[in-house]
Chain A
């Protein structure tokens, strides 16, 4: 998501980094680069321009201060990061709850934006937080939209209010109203109203949407936007804002390579925040939208906060504790630990998605490697380790040629792959020892750097002789 944007920012920064002192002409240059990167990413031209102007306004008066610091490009970077966070909506906004009765959320948007799928994801999300949502089928237009919602509801275990068959039959306003009433009677605390997709220029359908709004008085109207949307986003958002109004934006299909620039335009021009993002085909691929995290992501700083959250959710606390204790006691890191870490990692979901959240991973060559990442590698590594005897797992030093040949045969892999794994593991083990001697590591974080799942990426890492910068901007630029 936003990937192309981030690789372009990275290249703009690398040119900035090469200068010691930053002049105002340098700022103008990077601003011009950022502007064209934004336009290539479907950001509206006026938004790209005003964003650039704003950076220039903020950065140029600060140049004197920035140039006094040890790392001037970092200063510029921070200004851009802060401004991008602001443009993306500042703080994460959560759903406003109704003071009395069920909280009503109404979904509106163009055809094909992903409203019905999103209704299911939102319902599951609310349900997982202990709510009792009800889905209401008010898209009576598209053939079998009602059936789709019913199937989506069944798959997430949320009831669907669908008194009308749809396919052109029934009054969506009445259905929405009856749905709210039904929720009140049955004490559901959330009502999600799925409406038909409509074009901004369709006055008749727009007025129908506003009649649904007036009938159910939603606490939140969410405008569902496809991340692949182009320049028309501005016109469409404007007509929805005037036609029915909306309080927040939901971005869908963020798991592709869409640049998502339209979202930036919509947020800037309508002053409505992005509240949620949908990132995959599964009903659980859905989360609150975090502007600060997304800004970091665009700028190639990674999304460590989300990664840590996911790690926490997936890692077995007992296992983590055991590992930490073992670590603290001075026991060596063995292949058994390695295996259990790998298995925990697998639970966290797709490797490429996770690694993509690490700093610097979304730029240029890294990104390509990430796209080609073989998820099966994890399974193969597991197979190799499982083909070892407990003694071998405990101490890889005993692995002589014939043992390696046996393991290769047992796991159905080549001997060279076994060798590879052993080499990488030994590296990881060494690193763990150094870590213990030289200071802590974040609790519960798996030993990612030496991990077997990413051999191709390891080869791409910058040569070790250059010390890696602790500064995210520098690092992003180095890897860009």
Chain B
């Protein structure tokens, strides 16, 4: 963002005035950090002894990130199970496709379950991806019971001794208690058949402060272990992910940057922060 570099240039020369810091705060809010975290970052940065305002802000933002591990958990002696959840339209199915490609490319046997039996053509969408990438997709009937499809998926994964099982679920607003209960049921099915190793919440980079409610509600029902931050190829900076990390300590694990199966990678704090403050 041009605004940031303008401020940084100013701050380097002769110390910053209150209005400079206000401007900085505004820019952070514009990146969806929220007023609370933006205030916190600015006050930490102001108290930081640093050669430049840029490095002070950078340090403050780094300090807001969680120290938990960002690696995908791996279980050696059985199938590693990953549950993917989120509200409607954040890019769950596309993220599942990217994740399966990533894992397969690294030499793993992957099985995917299409447990989104609600949205029209969600099953077909995942099957299309599965065929492209070469990963078996276990699917049930449209509008069938998602938990029973998951049960079948677990069986298939176990029989074929797959390294990873990825479960794609229907998008649901976190305020719908019946749909959240359905999700808990899916998790219970997985728990009973060996356990869930990762519960990844897909968060859209364009999301505003509602993202915090999403993360809290999903954590309450299915104990989220990591975030996938999608649509980072647009003009949105995805500051909400940092706000979520700060609020819940759930680490961002992956980042999605496009519609192609390879537009995906592990979260890199440095480049994320550079994106937030618009420096190269």
Contacts and interface: CB of A to CB of B under 8 A. Distances in A.
Nearest to A230: B208
A40 B209 contact: yes
Interface string B203-236: 0111111110110000000000000000101111
A200 B235 contact: yes
Contact of B213 (A45, A235, A257): A257
A230 B236 contact: yes
Interface stretch (A146-154, A242-250, A328-336): A146-154
Contact of A259 (B26, B208, B235): B208
Interface string A227-242: 0111111011001000
B72 interface: no
B232 to A, nearest CB: 10
A145 B121 contact: yes
Given A143-B125, A200-B234, A36 B35 contact: yes
Contact of B234 (A45, A232, A258): A232
A294 B32 CA distance: 24
Contacts of A239: 235
Contact residues of A: prevailing secondary structure = loop
A144 B30 contact: no
Interface residues of A, number: 50
B87 A228 contact: yes
Contacts of B90: 112
Interface string A108-122: 001111101100000
B208 A113 contact: no
A30 B31 CA distance: 26
Interface of B is mostly: loop
B119 interface: yes
Given A45-B30, A235-B235, A253 B88 contact: yes
A371 B178 CA distance: 12
Given A141-B259, A167-B128, A231-B32, A257 B235 contact: no
Task: Output the residue of B31, B173, B213, B240 with the most chain A CB within 10 A.
Answer: B173
A155 interface: yes
B207 A144 contact: no
A256 B217 CA distance: 12
A308 interface: no
B264 interface: no
A261 B235 CA distance: 18
Given A114-B88, A262-B208, A255 B173 contact: yes
Contacts of B136: none
B67 interface: no
A185 B202 CA distance: 44
B32 A256 contact: no
B64 interface: no
A42 B209 CA distance: 7
A36 to B, nearest CB: 7
A226 interface: yes
A45 B26 contact: yes
A236 B125 CA distance: 26
A457 B26 CA distance: 40
A54 interface: no
B266 interface: no
A314 interface: no
A155 B125 CA distance: 18
Interface string B53-92: 0000000000000000000000000000000000111110
A439 B207 CA distance: 50
Contacts of B89: 111-114, 226, 253
A112 B88 contact: yes
B213 A199 contact: no
A371 B175 contact: yes
B208 A261 contact: yes
Interface of B: 26, 29-32, 34-35, 87-91, 118-122, 124-125, 128-129, 142, 173-176, 204-211, 213-214, 231, 233-237, 239-240, 259
18 contacts: A45-B30, A111-B231, A117-B119, A144-B124, A148-B120, A148-B124, A150-B121, A151-B142, A199-B233, A200-B235, A201-B235, A228-B204, A228-B214, A230-B32, A230-B207, A231-B31, A236-B235, A256-B174
For the complex of A and B, list the 8 residue pairs with the smallest distance between their C-beta atoms, beginning with the closest.
A230-B208, A112-B89, A42-B208, A151-B120, A148-B121, A232-B236, A147-B121, A256-B173
